[in-house]
Amino acid sequence: MGHKTFSRGVHPSYYKELTSGKRVEAATLPKTVTIPLQQHAGAPCEPLVKKGDIVQEGQKIGDVKAFVSAPVHASISGKVKDIELAQHPGGFRSLSVIIEGDGTEKHWGPTGAPVDLSVLSGEAIRESVRDAGIVGMGGAAFPTSVKLAPPKGKAIEAVVLNGCECEPYLTADHRIMLEEPEKVVWGLRALMKATGASKGFIGIEENKPDAIEALRKAIGSSSDIQIIVLEAKYPQGAEKMLIVAALGRKVPVGKLPLDVGVVVNNVGTAAAIYEALNWGKPLIERIVTISGNGVKEPRNLKVRVGTSFEEVLSQCGGLVEGGEVEVLNGGPMMGIAQPTLAVPVIKGTSGITVIAASVIKSSVYDACIRCASCVSACPMGLMPYKLGDFGKNFRTADFKDWDGVSCIECGCCSYVCPAKRPLLQWIRLGKLKVRLEAQKAAAAK
């Protein structure tokens, strides 16, 4: 307590101790990878290779001209087996490049001292970041190069690194900050250079004292970067909540962080930028926390993009036998449940959470007793119990009037509801209806 935070929110059980003390280990080299051409928010890539091509680890295999996009790279060396529609962890099917590996591994590592940032231009950093296919690694996977190129007339004053990791179970960011603090700090400085920001902040929840210590050491006596210790509360890592807690600035409704002069990036993204600029390594692998009460040996693994969930899970002792489990891409609050284990790890997969029996929610719910839990939990200041009803009953006009579109889908409302009403699910329906109506209106014009 006493640490900075935002209004409302919830305090779920974190269960981070399952993996927070475990070092990141390299996963075994996968034999086959399925690399979706859409791993970022924005336009999907077009394949640059065709069936039968020989590809090298780190070779660009998909790209597109669109501004909001990021290229994808081969995460192993081998032969393109096929390019086909495959199940995507985002819950849809995406055109994917399937590569059969040849068993060789390329060595990525330092070729000397870290690059001197003062000789790099902002433009050069942006280009390298885009070229390396770097996207937000906290889960939303927004192309980082786009964030680094604000529209004219909007100055960026501060870069905030998001090290909150407020999702239960996940410890990937925690381990990065603890094990590779220099990379994080270097990456932050690169981001500051690219955006012209004079100040850098790293927001961390107070439940990771060892990571705070490690970063303090890495920053040393420099005054350009400040660590902000935040209360451990969900959803502290949501962009808007982080900015208001760290800097006291509220992102206006319908606006972006850069409207208040801020860019937020995940700590993992910063580390990936370090590797891209120093080692020339594109974003082909990432740290994934595999945890939950449904997996036998929770671990933190460095996994190649494209490795199937099944293969990753088998390196963690596999799933618990019998009964029902829910396998999530991400954490339990915002993660997406997978209908099959044949989905690949992608750039935005911060964790694979497997929850079993006792934790899985039931689909039975009671009537709303207007206990106000959801209203006092909603970080956006909405009234979820009402929005849920509006969404469920297709009352789209009311839904819009009660600001349903401002929902950030953090799930606090459903989490606290004593009647176990699937509020967020209904609110999503409401948002979908609003979108569809807008599309219809646009088509009619």
Partner 1 sequence: MDQKTLDTKEIKTAPTPEPPSQAATKLVVSSSPHFLNNESVPKIMHNVVTALLPATAASVYFFGWRALLLIIVCVASCLLTEYAFQKKRNKPIKIYDGSAIITGMLLAMTLPAGFPIFGAVLGSVFAIGVGKQLFGGLGFNIFNPALLGRAFLMATYPVLTTTWVWPRTMEKAVDAVTAATPLAMAKFEGKLDVPLMDMILGNTAGSLGETSAIAIILGGLYLRYKGYINWKLPLGYLGTIAAFSAIFWLSDPTKYPSPLFHLFAGGAMLGAWFMVTDMVTSPVTSLGQWIFVIVAGILAVVIRLFGGLPEGVMYSILFMNAFVPLLNKHTRPKVFGEARAQKV
Site for partner 1 in 379-438 (CB under 8 A): 379-383, 385-386, 392, 394, 402-403, 406, 409, 411, 414-420, 422, 424-426, 428-429, 432-433, 436
Min dist CB 82 to partner 1, Å, is 20
Q: Within 94-180, where are the H helices?
A: 122-131, 144-147, 172-179
Q: How far is the CB of 310 from partner 1 (least distance, A)?
A: 7
Distances (CA, A) of 323 to 99, 246, 293, 319, 362: 34, 43, 12, 10, 14
Q: How many residues bind partner 1 (CB under 8 A)?
A: 77
Q: What is the residue whose two structure tokens read 């997406």?
A: 336
Q: Does 214 bind partner 1 (CB under 8 A)?
A: no
Q: Is 375 in the site for partner 1 (CB under 8 A)?
A: yes
Contact pattern for partner 1 over residues 174 through 213, marking x by CB under 8 A = ----------------------------------------
- In the complex, minimum distance from the CB of residue 409 to partner 1, in angstroms, rounded to a whole number: 8
Query: Given the complex with partner 1, which of 145 and 289 has the nearer CB atom?
Result: 289
Binding to partner 1 in span 60-99, by CB under 8 A = none
Among 240, 299, 347, 431, binds partner 1 (CB under 8 A): 240
Pick 23 or 420: Cβ nearer partner 1: 420
The residues in 298-337 that bind partner 1, with binding defined as CB under 8 A, are 310, 319-328, 332-337
Number of residues that make up the chain: 445
Backbone angles phi, psi at 361, to 5 degrees: -80, 155
Which residue number, 37 or 380, has a Cβ lying nearer to partner 1?
380
Closer of 335 and 348 to partner 1 (Cβ): 335
Answer for which of 21, 196, 209, 252 binds partner 1 (CB under 8 A) is 252
From candidates 253, 280, 317, 397, binder to partner 1 by CB under 8 A:
253
Distance from the first to the final alpha carbon of the chain = 53
The alpha-carbon radius of gyration of the chain (Å, integer) is 21
Between CA 125 and CA 192 the distance in angstroms is: 10
Q: How far apart are CA 407 and CA 125, in angstroms?
A: 34
HSE (side-chain half, CA atoms, 13 Å) at 167: 29
Residue pair 291/15 in contact by the 8 Å Cβ criterion: yes
What residues numbered 141-170 form the site for partner 1, per CB under 8 A? 168
Contacts of 327 (CB under 8 A, 6+ apart): 294, 309, 313, 319, 337, 338, 341, 352, 353, 354
State yes or no: residue 370 binds partner 1 (CB under 8 A): yes
- Compute the distance between CA of residue 426 and CA of residue 389 in angstroms, rounded to an integer: 7
CA 196 to chain centre: 24
Examine residue 441 and tell whether it contacts partner 1 (CB under 8 A): no
Instruction: Give the nearest distance from C-beta 129 to partner 1 in angstroms.
Output: 28
